[in-house]
Amino acid sequence: MLKSKEADRIGGVFYVIARNINVLFTSAGRRVELLRAFREAYSLLGIIGYVIALDADPLAPALQIADKPFIAPCLHSAN
């Protein structure tokens, strides 16, 4: 958290945001609305980054809308 003169003038705090912020959802499953909410927040806040989803089911709905979908084996699988 950094303060700037302008932030002091308006009584606020100036935050430095990283250039790229990626978020990973594990066991994404049917969390489509959550992924959409993050994507909308990125757009409104001008954040650049990826919404990444990970699930064991290749047909999981959240994988269909993620920027970068990944399929991983189940915890107890032999893979």
Residue 1 in this model has a pLDDT that exceeds 50: no
Residue burial 16-40, b: 16+ Cβ < 10 Å; e: rest: eeeeeeebebeebeebbeebeebbe
Q: Is this structure's pTM higher than 0.85?
A: no
Specify if 78 maps to a domain: yes
Per the domain annotation, does 34 fall within a domain? yes
pLDDT at 39: 95
For the chain, how many structural domains are there in total? 1
- Is 26 part of any domain? yes
Write the pLDDT tens digit of every residue in 24-50. 999 999 999 999 999 999 999 888 999
Is position 4 within any domain?
A: no
Containing structural domain, residue 75:
20-79
The rounded distance, in Å, linking the Cα atoms of 42 and 48 is: 7
Answer yes or no: is 47 within a domain: yes
pLDDT at 68: 98
Is-contact 14 3, C-beta < 8 A?
Answer: yes
